Amino acid sequence: MFIYRLKQLHFIGISLSLLVFTGCSNKSKKGDNIASNPQELQEKTSYLVRSFIGIAAAKNGQLEDSTILLSQARIAKLLYEKKSFEPLWCQKEEWLPTGDSLFSFIESSQLFGLFPEDYHIEQLKDIRQKFFIDSLAKGDRKDAALWSKADIMLTDAFVQIIKDVKLGRLPQDSITLRKDSVLNDAFYQQQFDILQQSGLAKMIQSLEPDQRGYHLLKTGIKKFLDSADYQQFTIVPYPEKNQSKFTRALQKRLYEGGFIAFDSIAADSIQLADAVKRFQKKKGIAVDGRAGEGTVRMLNVNDREKFIRIAISMDKYKMLPETMPSKYIWVNTSANYLELIDKGEVKINSKVICGKPKTRTPLLTSNITELITYPQWVPPPSIVSKEILPAVKKNPGYLAKKGFSLVDAKGNEVDPYSVDWSKYSKGIPYRVVQGSGDANALGIMKFVFSNKYSVYLHDTNQRYLFGNAMRSLSHGCVRVQEWEKLAYYILRNDSLNASGGYTKIDSVKSWLQRKQKKSIAIRNKVPVYIRYITCEGQNNNIVFYDDIYSEDKMLREKYFASK
């Protein structure tokens, strides 16, 4: 023990600015870190871990004279303190099994929607190469500074991986339903203990979200990565006032993708249109030969961008509750579909029509509390001011043509020709009401759930639009093709727990037949989750949808800009 204390005093005399991490050329200082035997290596590594982690914790993760920045220096320090600053991932010139498994996880972390570069992968590879390849020539395997550096980076990576797998990298927002959005210090220590007892794979598995969509995406990642081409294609500028510049970039991008055979001479409009059609057909979007906003968005997405979309989408699933209800409705506004999930199984799958880019369907979580047959439609103020008011200023007969009535504050119907519309520029002191009927914009069934946006699930009087490949067409509400199946499923679920059998379904069928406006209260409220996820796992593949609202583009630029 006395000899060990003398060695400690000797190490204290070493200047903390001696940083190995910078490859200092002072041979005598480097010699201080070279051990003559495994036990001495362990002692020197432990001392340097204490020194370096202390520096990093005091300097917001920045190691002195080093380009290495630790993202979780404070938590790493706590883990080391628990072990008296002994190395956590190596021992006496050898990697521990946990150190090897953690490094392997970092190397393959893309399979979890993560980025190896976030976890010091290049620096760790360099050190391991020195240990396993160059050790005989350089003696690096006995260098305590390299071991301490690798150990600290692995610990920092370990802590960051826990956070990224558990919570993701996106900020908590108004619809996030996670109750554990902040991980405390004890949680990280608990994960380290689980690692020691059960191994890394089980620890990671316990952190992942129990979400069907997450696991379907994860299942498809390997196949995506195996065929991914990270070639950088020409970006097509959009919008672009300079038509010549736009056309040149468009032709070059189509040439790079193999959709047009030449790039050395300018293509004519017919050749370009044919090439655009080939691209559109391959991507499964409307084939019209025009390079509009949606087509250009897809032209500008390469496999690297797609992987970032996968990462963002997996993180969105991490923002859901840890345990979803046994029965709920899921709407993906990017893919324009609805699912009713019951005990993990898809019972109803329906096409939907969601909001246009300028009137997007909002993200929300609510519960269906009421069904209304043959509903009236009261357009929200935004539609009244932006669409109805300009139209009625030109022709007051617009209201009658669309089946609208004008109602004052007392409930009296007002003749639109009696109103001086020139007085109004934004709102109006009247309610605009579209009466019940087959021509009503809400169709013949409305699903009501509380929300501040005045949006609903509903039928539509334009059912032919469900045949469109691109169905982002509404003012924000969600039009449901299989509204009848959905309504009867909800009613059946409600009736099973009530006296009177299936009387609600019988009543609704009768009201629909007689075209009556009726309201049906739902006792067993059905949760509704409206989300925006631009890629999904299907049959061990990943299917990508158009980022029609440019939400992922914004998230990518703000939170994944370095990728």
pLDDT in tens, 233-271: 999 999 889 999 999 999 999 999 999 999 999 999 999
Question: Which two tokens mark 360?
Answer: 């997007």
Q: Going along 409-453, which residue ranges are E strands?
A: 413-414, 431-434, 445-449
Please report the pLDDT score of residue 409 as a whole number: 86
* Average confidence score pLDDT of the chain: 88
pLDDT band (50, 70, 90) for residue 27: very low
386 within domain boundaries: no
What phi and psi values does residue 526 have, to the nearest 5 degrees? -105, 120
490 within domain boundaries: yes
Percentage with pLDDT > 70 across the chain: 90
Q: Is 501 helix (H, G, I), strand (E, B) or coil?
A: coil
User: Do residues 200 and 331 share a domain?
Assistant: no
User: Do residues 199 and 337 share a domain?
Assistant: no
Q: Is 368 helix (H, G, I), strand (E, B) or coil?
A: strand
Please report the pLDDT score of residue 6 as a whole number: 36
316 within domain boundaries: no
Please report the pLDDT score of residue 65 as a whole number: 60
Q: Is 266 helix (H, G, I), strand (E, B) or coil?
A: coil
Per residue in 30-39, pLDDT (tens digit) is: 568 888 898 9
Q: Last residue of a domain, which of 177, 207, 237?
A: 207
pLDDT band (50, 70, 90) for residue 172: confident
480 within domain boundaries: yes
Mean pLDDT of 45-61: 90
Residues 6+ apart with CB under 8 A from 255: 261, 262, 263
* Higher-confidence position of 66 and 257: 257
Are 357 and 342 in contact, with CB atoms under 8 Å apart?
Answer: no
282 within domain boundaries: no
pLDDT band (50, 70, 90) for residue 5: very low
User: How far is 412 from 410, CA to CA, in rounded Å?
Assistant: 6
Q: Is 332 helix (H, G, I), strand (E, B) or coil?
A: strand
Give the number of other CB atoms < 10 A from CB of residue 397.
Answer: 12
DSSP string, 46-110: HHHHHHHHHHHHHTTTBPTT-S-B-SSHHHHHHHHHHTTT--SSEETTEE-HHHHHHHHHHHTGG
pLDDT at position 556 over 50: yes
* Higher-confidence position of 469 and 122: 122
pLDDT band (50, 70, 90) for residue 25: very low
Is there a cis peptide before residue 239, judged by omega within 30 degrees of 0?
A: yes
pLDDT at position 471 over 80: yes
Q: Last residue of a domain, which of 207, 226, 261?
A: 207
Mean pLDDT of 85-89: 97
Residues 6+ apart with CB under 8 A from 144: 33, 34, 35, 41, 44, 45, 47, 48
pLDDT at position 10 over 80: no
pLDDT band (50, 70, 90) for residue 502: low
**How many C-alpha atoms does 246 have within 13 Å on its Cβ side?**
14
How many domains are there within the chain? 2
Mean pLDDT of 324-342: 97
Per residue in 301-328, pLDDT (tens digit) is: 889 999 999 999 999 999 999 889 999 9
314 within domain boundaries: no
Question: 102 is in which domain, residue-wise?
Answer: 2-207
Please report the pLDDT score of residue 147 as a whole number: 94
pLDDT band (50, 70, 90) for residue 287: very high
Per residue in 505-544, pLDDT (tens digit) is: 889 999 999 999 999 999 999 999 999 999 999 999 999 9
pLDDT band (50, 70, 90) for residue 276: very high
User: How far is 458 from 439, CA to CA, in rounded Å?
Assistant: 13
What phi and psi values does residue 529 have, to the nearest 5 degrees? -120, 115
Nearest alpha carbon to residue 338 among 347, 329, 327: 329
Residues 6+ apart with CB under 8 A from 471: 336, 351, 352, 353, 354, 465
Per-residue DSSP letter, 119: G
Per residue in 201-226, pLDDT (tens digit) is: 999 999 999 999 999 999 999 999 99
Q: Last residue of a domain, which of 207, 229, 249?
A: 207
Are 558 and 306 in contact, with CB atoms under 8 Å apart?
Answer: no
pLDDT at position 86 over 50: yes
pLDDT band (50, 70, 90) for residue 496: low
96 within domain boundaries: yes
Residues 6+ apart with CB under 8 A from 57: 73, 74, 76, 77
Greatest CA separation for the chain? 103
Please report the pLDDT score of residue 124 as a whole number: 95
407 within domain boundaries: no
Per residue in 221-234, pLDDT (tens digit) is: 999 999 988 888 99
User: How far is 250 from 259, CA to CA, in rounded Å?
Assistant: 11
CA angle 23, 28, 31 (to 5 degrees): 75
User: What's the CATH number where 373 sits?
Assistant: 2.40.440.10
pLDDT band (50, 70, 90) for residue 136: low
Per residue in 348-381, pLDDT (tens digit) is: 999 999 999 999 999 999 999 999 999 998 888 8
Please report the pLDDT score of residue 163 as a whole number: 96
3-class secondary structure per residue, 140-203? HHHEHHHHHHHHHHHHHHHHHHHHHHHCCCCCCCCCCCCCCCCCCHHHHHHHHHHHHHHCHHHH
Where is average pLDDT lowest: 62-66, 113-117, 329-333? 62-66
